[in-house]
Homo-oligomer: A and B are copies of this chain.
Amino acid sequence: MRIGILGSGVVGQALARGLSRHGHEVRIGTRKDAVEGFSIGSAEDVVGSADLVFLSVLGTAAVEVAAGVRKELRNKILIDTTNPLDFSSGRPGLFVGHTDSLGEQVQRAVPEAQVVKAYNTVGNTLMVDPDLPGGPPSMFLGGDADEAKGGVTALLQATGWDVVDLGGIEVSRYLEPMCMAWVLHGARSASWDHAFKLLRR
């Protein structure tokens, strides 16, 4: 697949590296002149030519960046990996939740795109081919378009994940807080190689 990644930070780079390893043609959409080791382009160009797009910017920029390529995202799958992390109070929190979520805000910003919330409950080092004792871990996801979720599920399963589909994009209200559980364990244990798994019979 041709995969476009919006965001050139550690998450975008980890996804680009991991998905390239699986044979996908990956480009990062960025305003930067270069991102060492990666193929880049403008957000519009990268999204326009992609089969699948990841939104992997800071939570505070997610809606604006998605809205900026609304036209190019029409009828495309947008995987929203972002979290509404808020460190302004001194301890980590979320800037939206409970009755709304960043996933829903992103979907509202690009109504013609098929937004799938996924990849937000794990850190960048484990996003592709997670190798953990007791694995594979479970990626929880949600989105309004079943076909889009099917595509994301196939990608996840091909890259080392068990997949748990929880419903529509509004489940972002529950997945984004799960990110905080992931973050808090990392901060307390000073280790970041952990992931959730849903045990079931």
Binding site for B on A (CB under 8 A): 93-94, 96-99, 132-135, 137, 140, 164-167, 171, 173-178, 180-181, 184-185, 188-189, 191, 193-201
Contact = CB atoms under 8 A, between A and B. Distances in A.
A49 B167 CA distance: 45
Contacts of A177: 97, 173-174, 176-178
A165 B137 contact: no
Contacts of A196: 196-199
Contact of A97 (B97, B134, B135, B171): B97
For the complex of A and B, 5 pairs with smallest distance between CB atoms? A97-B98, A177-B177, A98-B98, A194-B200, A174-B180
Contact of A132 (B98, B135, B171, B200): B200
Contacts of A199: 132-135, 137, 194-197
Which of A164, A165, A195, A200 is most buried by chain B, counting CB atoms within 10 A of its CB? A200
Contacts of A134: 134, 197, 199
Contacts of A97: 97-99, 173, 177
A66 to B, nearest CB: 22
A11 B55 CA distance: 40
A184 B198 contact: no
Q: Which of A93, A96, A165, A174 has the most CB of B within 10 A?
A: A174
